[in-house]
Amino acid sequence: MARSDNRAPDQLREIRFQPDIAPHATGSVLVSFGKTQVICAATIQDEVPRWMKVQGVPGGWLTAEYSMLPYSTLDRKDRDISKGKLDGRSQEIQRLIGRSLRAAVDLEKLGPRTLWIDCDVLQADGGTRTASITGACVAASMAFNRLLQKGVLTQQPLKKKVAAISVGIFRNQALLDLCYEEDRDAEVDCNLVMTEDGQFVEIQGSGEESTFSEAQLNAMLGLGKKGIMEICKLQEEAIRAVEPKSPAPPASGAMSSLADAFKKL
């Protein structure tokens, strides 16, 4: 079966990470899965929620917010603030992002701080929640590395990378990384969240007025695991590309000049 963008059934869309898209965040990235684009920003606050203080819970907290900008879809989407409340879909997705990142972060090593993950969809073409989780992990890793370099953190809170991808049954065939057209018309729609060592964090799946077999489920899980392992390699490359550099030691010649200068004093 030919896909609308000519990909193979087990082929990801082009995935890109543009770092430091939000300069005031501790770590940020613009993640693109094909035409889907999401700004993911990680911001550290030196405080924890009141309920943690009251209950004496050690360590820090991680929470997420998700929104689709009005121009991210073909038809303008009203902002949640104009309706006076967060819509059910956005609430579900931001909870999923928070759960996914908390599975990958040691909150005790974060210390008495809150890590805010903000995901804002610039353009939606399917898979915004999976792109958000994938980009949020990169943004969080960037933030942790910078705080470690500054000495604000003494231990790395990120236990392992986490990523997500969509899979589904479209026209009776299992496909990886569904674009909007495939997601809209899929008989089965599923989102997988996994760690870089192949452990599941969450599986969301349902038949869209249809049922699916165990063989189809296994086919989707196989495609999803393959895709996530590929994504984790891309995450690692993106994180390494912006790792803070330790200050270089003075050149030996410069040290000798300093020593000579002190001798003359």
Q: What is the CATH number of the domain that holds 239?
A: 3.30.230.70
For residue 259, what pLDDT is reported? 46
Which token pair is 117? 């993950």
Domain of 239? 15-243
Q: Which of 145, 78, 140, 155 is nearest to 103 (CA)?
A: 140
Answer whether 157's CB lies under 8 Å from 109's CB. Answer: yes
Q: For residue 223, tell me if it sits in a domain.
A: yes
> Tell me, what's the pLDDT at 198?
95
End-to-end CA distance of the chain: 81
- Is this prediction's pTM over 0.85? yes
DSSP 93-117: HHHHHHHHHHTTB-HHHH-S-EEEE
127 in a known ligand binding site:
yes
Which backbone phi and psi does 115 adopt, to 5 degrees? -100, 115
Residue 265 lies in a domain: no
Q: Tell the burial category of 206 from Cβ atoms under 10 Å away from its Cβ (0-12, 13-18, 19+).
A: exposed
Count the domains in the chain: 1
Residue 194 lies in a domain: yes
Q: Would 8 be classed as within a structural domain?
A: no
128 is in an annotated binding site: yes
The verdict on residue 139 lying in a domain is yes
Mean pLDDT by 10 residues, the chain (265 residues): 86 97 96 98 95 94 94 85 78 96 97 97 96 98 96 96 97 95 93 97 91 95 97 97 66 47 46
Q: Which helix (H) or strand (E) holds 23?
A: none
63 is an annotated ligand-binding site residue = no
Q: What is the pLDDT of residue 32?
A: 98
Question: For residue 259, is it within any domain?
Answer: no
CA 32 to chain CA mean position, Å: 11
Predicted confidence at residue 136, as pLDDT, reads 98
